[in-house]
Structure 1
Amino acid sequence: MNYRRDISVVTVLAALMLGVIPTPALATEDDASEPAGEGDPPTEGAQVFEPAYFERYAPRNALDMLAQVPAFVIDDGENNSRGLGQATANVLVNGERFSSKSDSVRDQLSRIPASDVVRIEIVDGTTLDIPGLNGQVANVIVNKTGASGQFSWTTGFRPYNTEAQLLGGEVSLTGNAGKLDYTISLSNENNRFGTDGPITVVDGAGDLIETQDTKFSGKFDNPTLATNFTYTFSPDVIAHLNLRYGEDFWSQRITELADVVVGPDRERLLLNDEDGPEYEIGGDIEFPLGPGKLKLIGLERFERDNFRSVLVDSFSDGSPDTGSRFRQTNAAGERIGRFEYGWNMFKADWQLSGEAAFNRLDRRSSIEELDTDGEFFFIPFPAGNGGVTEDRYEGILSFGKQLTPKLSLQATAGAEYSKIQQTGSAANSRVFKRPKGSLSLAWKPASDFDVSVELRRRVGQLSFGNFLASINLDNDNGNGGNNELVPDQSWNLEAEINKSFGAWGSAKLQVRQAWFEDFIDYFPLANGGEARGNIGDAQRLHIELSGTVKFDPIGWKGAQLNFAAVQRYMDIVDPFTGENRAFSNDLYNRLEADFRHDIPSSDWAYGASLFTFSPVEYSRRYEEGRFWEGPSFVDVFVEHKDILGMTGRLRVGNVLSARNKGFRTVFDDSRPDGDVLFTETLDRRIGPIVRFTLSGNF
């Protein structure tokens, strides 16, 4: 399949954005400086959004407000990155980065009441004294004035194959007591899902092998208690403590009735479930030291996943049942210690940072087969048991300077030392030393136009589970272990262009080119199996255009459209076929559009959204395929902002009946020499998705 798809829409919109269109400035100055605190005046050169700007949306929290900032898209950063590292999320609060790795930026913003938000500033990350930031960054200025609470409750249903969703939402309390600020929240991610429909299986000649009538249903709950405490010892000495504990409960049930052309019909039952606790303890303290400030950060997090999978096939001719049972327990943890020392010298911002991170995984797996007496017996599976640890140390020196009133520079340089050890049947130990760093420039020739460019050397994060073997019962395949796996490295060149069109809205163009070394994908093992491994050099071009179009200038007051379009080009040599292809399970393109109309002089709003995407095929030794949902999801909603002081929203999703689609082709020998054994094609019904959310304050 040709993965170089058309991007004419993105190109045309980008050209319009970059055109010279006279527009009024959102900010009062051209320059940007350090982020403001809650009592400071707005940052020079920033686009400033006061609470009055958001009144028509009746926001309940900071997340509701930030979602309405034109052309701004929240980036949670690299929560799965190596350790804490430098800042990557594009949101700050009172000029400080979020330090939690378990709570997302959106989670934490949703717990800040809208009444506590003084303003939101949009600045260029390169102009800040926080290394790692680039492009547009939102600085949310918050002033807690007393205790307040908020809640949201989400309920809903899907008419086919799912239980009702009843217990989703969050309740949080935030406030202060003297020098102590606190936030306490209790939440539950409550999700129900399911599909049904046919799967057709044909052989290499296209002749029918069997048809399957399938039904899939599942559920997920994640009750979580999270707290954040901030203690201000003095204006220059501030400490934070983050605590989080939660448990995951996930399960799915798949039934299959197979009408077989040759042989007995088959009835299949597959049960999968997973549960386990997770916690995070993190904190930091910042205080003056010598000519600058020292920040000390510590974090400990742990997660245990208990996974079970049982598959049983029964036959119409009375033959003995066949089946398998797979169990796996993963205990994963991370411990981090970090310091950041920043000072000003030669009219520039400097920072020296160091980090020690200790990651660990302990895995226990077992596989059993069903015998003719209906009893499960164990099969040796040594490759699925063992542990992996990584001890990593990093040092980075950062430099940032305003070169001219319109041009700023940020540079970082450093290195990391890493030792990876594996235990079990394929014990191994290796040491790596790798350089890291970045160089970025930000140019702001006018208050309504800015450009930033960054070149960065990255070291990727390994998934420790790839070192050890695992099994997928439903697809009758699995991954072997690979004790020679190493992190990928990459050069990344990124450009971001932002343009404001005043009352009409604004737009953002991002272009990111990455050149990878030791890229990780499926690769062949010498024993005839396959595993996740390093397959060589690769590259990827990412083009993204996002923006907001406001319709007030044409008289349609309160109406706006937010959009984001993504196109990717990729190139990697397939280790099985030797042909160039895209990255397995990556993305060709994606389009999101959200329309909202807040009816003037009323408490009503309505709107619709569109989401469509095209994923990349996966490529394995004995099979290839692609699974997705589409072609497009369209949702509609209606909202009332004052239901006894609360906000109610009714959303009906998937009104155009997008379906669960996919195919996989399995070969009788290694690709490309193997002949097609069979091809499965699925086309299953999802149905409408109804959600009602009620939110308020107390």
Structure 2
Amino acid sequence: MVLISYRALAFAIAPLAFVGSIGLAPALAQTAETVSPATSVTNALPNLIDGKRTFQPAYFNDITPQTAADMVVRIPGFNIEDGESVRGFGGAAGNVLIDGSRPTSKNESLFAILSRIPAGNVEKIELLEGAAAGALAPGKSLIVNVIRKANNKASGKWEVQTTGVGSGRIKPKLDTSYTSKLGGFNVTTGLHAEIENVEDFIGYEGVLSPSGVFTERGPNDDRRRSKYAQATFAMDGKIGDTKLNANASYMEGNFTRDWVHVAFRPNATVPFRVDEGKEEGTTKRWEIGGDLERDVAGWTGKLALLAKATEDENLDLAGFNPVGQTKNFGRFVADSTNEERVARLTFKRKFGAHQIETGGELAYNSLDFVGQYAEGDGTIFVVRPSDISSTEVSENRKEAFVSDSWTLSPKLTLESTLTGEWSTIEQTGASGKKRSFFYPKPRIKAAWKPHDGWTYRVEVERVVGQLDFGAFADSASVGDNNQNSGNPELRPEQVWSSLIGVERRWGKRGVINVSLVQEKFEDQLTLVPTRNGGVALGNVPEAERWGYNISWAIPLTALLAGLEIEGNYRWRDSELADPITNQTRPFSGWNGKNFNTNITYEIPKKKLRMGAWYWRGNNNREYRPNQTFLWDTIQNWGAWVETKAYKNLSLEFGVEDPNGTTFNRLRTDFTPDRRSGVVRQTQYRERSKDGVWYLLVKGTF
């Protein structure tokens, strides 16, 4: 097992001491009796009983919720997490359950699913910790379980949003759903459609010599548009003693991008080169899932099934053409189909202080990919046989596990899980290969609550990453004049992940969480050079990442009733041995710092809420064998006001970055590669986009 290192403990002292000092502050240092509210106070923080806090609908009266999503996001110290984007069910579980079961959908977010449950149909919401959480969702330290009323009434909800950008363009959005009873089943249908993206990035870019002098520069114009529509269907109910859930969704969307850059020599008034290109993409995606649950010989058995597929067609075209010469463009076209089939069978049963769950999963995943690179004058293109890439990748994966959620005492809980994963990956085509893997995946999590309002957590687990099948095939970013080769030798990265955390709760909504994390990687994925001089995603033997998270929700009622500030800060550092220079460097493409916070002010009697938010992050660096890319820190802010003074209506108006946002990127090219340290040239790019305003109207019927 991997334990937190002394280096990691050193930088943990400050945030942990900070939380400890909060416990000594007069405003927060409350005894167990004062922290624990009387159960008759329905809008106070519920008592923790057997690892569970039960929130009645009255707790949310001050915000007049319309949907279950409005209620869940209001629970202090809890953030909705959709789970990892991996194949299968086991590693993709989110932290929200509905009537004790996780939704059998991977294409839809938990927030979207909760948004289709009318608030009037919610009987209560449970927040579960420690073994109580692990008993319903192994591997989760904190989960929410939304319990619906047995006699749900037919109802629906709708929302229309109009978003405007500084250029005067409008982005409409429509979302509607309706829930009714049909033959004893709850049936929900939904429709979502929006113009998701209307962004114009305007700025300039230029090339600097190794001495830092611009050898060329000029304006750029980058315009992006995307839209999609999705229809959903879900039903649940009982047939005899068997619980049944089923869901389906279908989505279509497309994306376009047109860009141009005009390059001028120093002191010239006429351009010497015009760079231009476009990207186009279409996506079709469908999913069908469901589960059956019933008691079998004293055990609760559950069978979950899922089938899904995504079809993508993409075009990437770019030309860097001197004025007055014949134009030459590069074009990369790719068609791909991803499919997934999953079956998961589990059994769980309570034995005294133990909740045992065991089961297994079978999954089949595949990628059918065809890509081709061509060159031409923009109208006629020539494709050489060597520029055609075609491959099929498939994976058969099996998993078996046993989990024990153990309540040692009212103050101490322990969850332990042992999982075995077997997989066989087979690739056809010129680089065809078949490989098999086996990985044990142990996990142990402990939670200690010495006093009411305090929770200490320790977690250690081994996580096996999911290979992106796209990395087995060739790809290209023609606009950056970069191509990546497919790599049939890829291995899944394995991570020993450790966490130490402390949580402090007080009053109705006060909570502060601090956690210290460390991850040790084997076969970490990064770009590596290939034998033929190309670039591909590959494995490095060892790598490490460490950092901490702080999140908070702090009522400021001492200053003003209804005032609250919440947010989080994440800090990470990392290191690996660079496969080009053999020197230690951070991970490629990883954002080390991320901060966001928002302040809200509520006047429940007037059914009025308002707030402002701030986000700062996205500062990262990417490494290629002969290049580095550096993106500057980005800052965003906005403000909003919402009223629910009108019956069954919610009106919200807000602005985001009214002065616009600027994005800076520095690309450095080395010759022949980064080992030499010799800079061939540096490209600086600055782009800005307009701020936006929006008007959101939501209602129920």
Question: Scaled by the length of structure 1, what TM-score is found?
Answer: 0.92
1:642 match: secondary structure: coil
- Tell me by how many angstroms 1:375 deviates: 2.4
Is the Cα contact below 8 Å between 1:87 and 1:97 reproduced in 2?
no
1:636 has 2:639 as partner: yes
**AA of the residue aligned to 1:290:** A
Match in the other structure for 1:673:
676
Is the Cα contact below 8 Å between 2:180 and 2:188 reproduced in 1?
yes
**AA of the residue aligned to 1:333:** E
Match in the other structure for 2:144:
138
Match in the other structure for 1:518:
523
> Aligned in 2, Cα 1:651/1:9: closer, same or farther, shift over 3 Å?
farther
1:60 match: secondary structure: coil
Is the Cα contact below 8 Å between 1:175 and 1:181 reproduced in 2?
yes
Question: Please, which of 676, 684, 687 is the counterpart of residue 684 of structure 1?
Answer: 687
2:120 match: secondary structure: helix
2:111 match: secondary structure: helix
> Aligned in 2, Cα 1:163/1:329: closer, same or farther, shift over 3 Å?
farther
Match in the other structure for 2:43:
none
Q: Deviations over 1:499-558 (max 9, x none)?
A: 112156111122221111000011111211111111121111131111111122x15122
Is the Cα contact below 8 Å between 1:28 and 1:45 reproduced in 2?
no
* Aligned pairs for 1:576-587 within 5 A: 576-587=580-591
For the residues of structure 2 that align with 1:12 and 1:651, how far apart are their CA atoms?
A: 37
* Aligned pairs for 1:105-504 within 5 A: 105-128=110-133, 129-143=135-149, 145-160=152-167, 163-166=169-172, 168-191=173-196, 192-234=198-240, 236-261=241-266, 265-316=272-323, 318-345=324-351, 347-371=353-377, 375-381=380-386, 384-503=389-508
- Tell me by how many angstroms 1:70 deviates: 1.7
- Tell me by how many angstroms 1:643 deviates: 4.4
Q: Deviations over 1:70-125 (max 9, x none)?
A: 222211111x2231116742222222222211111111111111112222222214
> Aligned in 2, Cα 1:43/1:202: closer, same or farther, shift over 3 Å?
same
Question: Please, which of 539, 542, 549 is the counterpart of residue 544 of structure 2?
Answer: 539
Match in the other structure for 2:656:
653
Is the Cα contact below 8 Å between 1:663 and 1:679 reproduced in 2?
yes
- Tell me by how many angstroms 1:17 deviates: 4.4
Is the Cα contact below 8 Å between 1:278 and 1:303 reproduced in 2?
yes
For the residues of structure 2 that align with 1:389 and 1:590, how far apart are their CA atoms?
A: 36
> Aligned in 2, Cα 1:172/1:9: closer, same or farther, shift over 3 Å?
farther
Match in the other structure for 2:87:
82
1:332 match: secondary structure: strand
Is the Cα contact below 8 Å between 2:365 and 2:394 reproduced in 1?
yes
Is the Cα contact below 8 Å between 2:130 and 2:414 reproduced in 1?
no
**AA of the residue aligned to 1:670:** D
Is the Cα contact below 8 Å between 1:152 and 1:696 reproduced in 2?
yes
Is the Cα contact below 8 Å between 2:619 and 2:633 reproduced in 1?
no
For the residues of structure 1 that align with 2:11 and 2:689, how far apart are their CA atoms?
A: 29
Identity of matched residues, %: 26
Match in the other structure for 1:32:
none
Question: Please, which of 2, 27, 30 is the counterpart of residue 22 of structure 1?
Answer: 30
Q: Decide which moves more: 473-482 or 116-125.
A: 116-125
Is the Cα contact below 8 Å between 1:86 and 1:131 reproduced in 2?
no
- Tell me by how many angstroms 1:366 deviates: 1.1
- Tell me by how many angstroms 1:575 deviates: 0.9
Is the Cα contact below 8 Å between 2:606 and 2:645 reproduced in 1?
no
Q: Decide which moves more: 261-270 or 176-185.
A: 261-270
Q: Deviations over 1:27-55 (max 9, x none)?
A: 679xxxxxx9xxxx996443333222222
For the residues of structure 2 that align with 1:134 and 1:497, how far apart are their CA atoms?
A: 16
Gaps of 5+ in 2: 1-7, 40-45
* Aligned pairs for 1:564-575 within 5 A: 564-575=568-579
Aligned length: 677
For the residues of structure 2 that align with 1:381 and 1:594, how far apart are their CA atoms?
A: 54
- Tell me by how many angstroms 1:411 deviates: 1.2
For the residues of structure 1 that align with 2:689 and 2:677, how far apart are their CA atoms?
A: 35
For the residues of structure 1 that align with 2:174 and 2:114, how far apart are their CA atoms?
A: 15
1:98 has 2:103 as partner: yes
> Aligned in 2, Cα 1:96/1:177: closer, same or farther, shift over 3 Å?
same
**AA of the residue aligned to 1:63:** A
Q: Deviations over 1:163-222 (max 9, x none)?
A: 4202x1310111323520121111124322221011121021212121120111112212
2:90 match: secondary structure: coil
For the residues of structure 2 that align with 1:384 and 1:26, how far apart are their CA atoms?
A: 64
Is the Cα contact below 8 Å between 1:278 and 1:301 reproduced in 2?
yes
Match in the other structure for 2:608:
604
For the residues of structure 1 that align with 2:23 and 2:310, how far apart are their CA atoms?
A: 46
- Tell me by how many angstroms 1:433 deviates: 1.1
Q: Deviations over 1:423-445 (max 9, x none)?
A: 11111111111111211112222
Is the Cα contact below 8 Å between 2:171 and 2:194 reproduced in 1?
no
For the residues of structure 2 that align with 1:279 and 1:43, how far apart are their CA atoms?
A: 41
For the residues of structure 2 that align with 1:155 and 1:474, how far apart are their CA atoms?
A: 32
2:645 match: secondary structure: strand
2:417 match: secondary structure: strand
Q: Deviations over 1:326-348 (max 9, x none)?
A: 10011101111110011233642
Q: Decide which moves more: 307-316 or 479-488.
A: 307-316
For the residues of structure 2 that align with 1:12 and 1:285, how far apart are their CA atoms?
A: 48
Match in the other structure for 1:64:
70
> Aligned in 2, Cα 1:344/1:50: closer, same or farther, shift over 3 Å?
closer
> Aligned in 2, Cα 1:86/1:348: closer, same or farther, shift over 3 Å?
farther
Q: Decide which moves more: 16-25 or 440-449.
A: 16-25
Q: Decide which moves more: 573-582 or 386-395.
A: 573-582
- Tell me by how many angstroms 1:64 deviates: 1.4
> Aligned in 2, Cα 1:510/1:42: closer, same or farther, shift over 3 Å?
closer
For the residues of structure 2 that align with 1:10 and 1:82, how far apart are their CA atoms?
A: 35
Q: Decide which moves more: 444-453 or 295-304.
A: 444-453
Is the Cα contact below 8 Å between 1:87 and 1:132 reproduced in 2?
no
Match in the other structure for 2:566:
562
- Tell me by how many angstroms 1:379 deviates: 2.8
Is the Cα contact below 8 Å between 1:335 and 1:358 reproduced in 2?
yes
For the residues of structure 1 that align with 2:91 and 2:625, how far apart are their CA atoms?
A: 38
**AA of the residue aligned to 1:258:** A
- Tell me by how many angstroms 1:313 deviates: 4.2
> Aligned in 2, Cα 1:614/1:488: closer, same or farther, shift over 3 Å?
same
Match in the other structure for 1:55:
61
Q: Deviations over 1:286-327 (max 9, x none)?
A: 1111121211111100001100122234443x2111111210
For the residues of structure 1 that align with 2:697 and 2:14, how far apart are their CA atoms?
A: 37
> Aligned in 2, Cα 1:11/1:474: closer, same or farther, shift over 3 Å?
farther
Is the Cα contact below 8 Å between 1:495 and 1:510 reproduced in 2?
yes
**AA of the residue aligned to 1:694:** V
For the residues of structure 1 that align with 2:72 and 2:249, how far apart are their CA atoms?
A: 24
Is the Cα contact below 8 Å between 2:431 and 2:488 reproduced in 1?
yes
**AA of the residue aligned to 2:653:** L
- Tell me by how many angstroms 1:587 deviates: 1.6
1:212 match: secondary structure: strand
Question: Scaled by the length of structure 2, what TM-score is found?
Answer: 0.92
2:59 match: secondary structure: helix
For the residues of structure 1 that align with 2:364 and 2:379, how far apart are their CA atoms?
A: 45
